[in-house]
Amino acid sequence: MELWIDLLFGNWIGILSIATVLGTLATGAFVLTLVYKKSHEND
């Protein structure tokens, strides 16, 4: 486990990969929220 923490947070590549994954999840959640609101607009 210590190896994984060192790989993820020990250098900029790991931090940027985590930021990329979190940004992708946030963008996906935002788009899904927009689609959900648009589909329930006339109800």
DSSP classification of residue 33: H
Task: Note the pTM of the prediction, 2 decimals.
Answer: 0.73
The runs of H, that is alpha helices, within 1-43 are 2-9, 12-39
* pLDDT (tens digit per residue) in 6-41: 888 888 888 899 999 999 999 999 999 999 999 998
Domain that holds residue 25: 2-39
Q: How many structural domains compose the chain?
A: 1
Helix, strand or coil for residue 35? helix
pLDDT grade, residue 43 (50/70/90)? low
DSSP state of 43: -
